[in-house]
Amino acid sequence: MEKLIINGGNPLHGTVTISGAKNSAVALIPAALLADGPVVIENLPNIQDVGIYAEILKEMGADVLFEDDWMEIDGRPMNPAQKLNGKVKKLRASYYLWGALLGKFGEAQVGLPGGCDLGPRPVDLHIKGFQALGAKVENQKGMMVIKAKKLKGARIYLDLVSVGATINIMLAATKAEGTTIIENAAREPEIVDVATLLNNMGANIKGAGTDVIRIKGVEKLRGCRHTIIPDRIEAGTYMIAAAATRGDVTLENVIPKHLESVTAKLREIGVDVEEADDSIRVRGQEKYRAVDVKTSPYPGFPTDLQQPITALLTLAKGTSIVTDNIYSARFRHIDELRRMGAAIKVEGRSAVIDGGNKLLGAKVVATDLRAGAALMIAGLVTAGETELDGLEHVDRGYENLVGKLHSLGAEVRRVGRAQTDKNETNAS
């Protein structure tokens, strides 16, 4: 296993360029399979999830060219009967192959996904959506067998706001006969990004970014080029890291609007945040206020930054309560933060932080992607040495982590494997 050794205590200073959005990339790649021609996706983050997706597509017979920060995907040579298991367990978003293959071939045989262990992560809404479109869905010992003689548009109300179900239904409905209406749809920017790609391929999708999405099925889709939006979660992580280390960091290639809830919360804590057209400057302050944070679907505060902001709130004197309304068990970082001296307890869906204790370097383990980000931030704050194990989780979501942190003046190094990093990460 790989580790990150952090010699913390340096305020982060300088400029960091934010990569393309992971959660868009892992949906855009399967979406590209729907086209009857090559699709080029640009500004692709070079992270493990993207590399794994490229391997899965090749296994299915698609033509894939993956270079640096772009990928060309041609799904035409694909084998519709290919069963997929194994690699799909390495990432959560492999479930988008269900919708994409169902839309393309009328069938998908793809195993249940893996991804971070955040407590129960059901897929019932995806299944209900496919069934409403006329598909039969069977779970054959972990292999999802989804088949439809003909997909027909339907009105689908999502009982819960789900990013994954919204995108998956959109993928399947793009080539269905007639109109599909998704009500109570998720509104995340990544959904708009996927709809933009599909529309550029010739789909007819309206309302993405609102809670009602209308999809008029089309017969054919064509190849095109698409540039991925910036990763608001990577950006939020660096904003929080800049604040926690009392640094001064400018983030470039961001869409400040996508980060409104994060900016507002940081300002409430006492951080100085300045927004420009496509950059954000974050200046840390000596003293911070304890605040409460509640996660909710976009445009609310993202659950993916719940763990990182908890690390920041350990520095604010007083009691902060961080409640995760999306995932009930996304608190596996808490024990590790306690190991570093933080006074935090978990009560139900909330972390109750008694802030103001000095954090100490320690040996800690990243149990999931954003837990790793939280511990990395805590490590950057402490004056001693922090050994962060389980770095493979963090690599799933942060491009060139060590390179970017170095450029901001952090003392970090990776140990535990031959350096294969292109400026340190090369997951392809």
Q: Which residues bind ligand UD1 (CB under 6 A)?
A: 23, 26, 92-93, 121-126, 160, 162-165, 186, 190, 303-304, 326-327
The nearer residue to ligand UD1, 90 or 92, going by C-beta atoms, is 92
What is the number of the residue whose Cβ is closest to ligand UD1?
164
Q: How far is the CB of 161 from ligand UD1 (least distance, A)?
A: 7
| Residue in 116, 118, 151, 176 annotated catalytic | 116
Q: Is residue 224 annotated as part of the catalytic site, yes or no? A: no
CB 33 to ligand UD1: min, Å: 17
Reading the block at residue 322, the tokens are 């961080």
Listed residue (296, 290, 284, 382) closest to 336, CA to CA: 382
To the nearest whole angstrom, how small is the minimum distance from the Cβ of residue 242 to ligand UD1? 22
Q: Which CB, 322 or 340, lies closer to ligand UD1?
A: 322
Q: The tokens of 108 are what?
A: 């998908």
Report, in Å, the least distance between residue 297 CB and ligand UD1: 6
What are the structure tokens assigned to 284, written together?
């840390």
Q: Which two tokens stand for residue 51?
A: 């590399």
Q: Quick check: 333 and 375 in contact, CB under 8 A?
A: yes
C-beta closer to ligand UD1: residue 288 or 327 = 327
| C-beta of 294 vs 338, nearer to ligand UD1 | 294
Name the token pair of 201.
Answer: 């391929």
Q: How far apart are CA 137 and CA 127, in angstroms?
A: 7
Residue 318: partners with Cβ closer than 8 Å, 6 or more residues away: 289, 290, 354, 355, 356
The answer to whether the beta carbons of residues 179 and 153 sit under 8 Å apart is yes
Cα–Cα dist 32/73, whole Å: 7
CB of 164 to ligand UD1, least distance (A): 3
Query: Which whole-number Å values give the CA distances from 178 to 3, 208, 358, in the listed order?
Result: 52, 18, 60
Residues 319, 290: Cα–Cα separation, whole Å: 6
Query: Least distance from C-beta 271 to ligand UD1, angstroms?
Result: 23
Cβ nearer to ligand UD1, comparing 191 with 412: 191
SS3 assignment, position 303: helix
The pairing of beta strand 350-355 with beta strand 363-365 = unpaired
SS3 for 95-108 is: HHHHHHHHHHHCEE
Closest to ligand UD1 by CB, 162 vs 263, is 162
* Closest residue by Cα to residue 25 from 38, 44, 40: 44
Provide the annotated active-site residues.
116
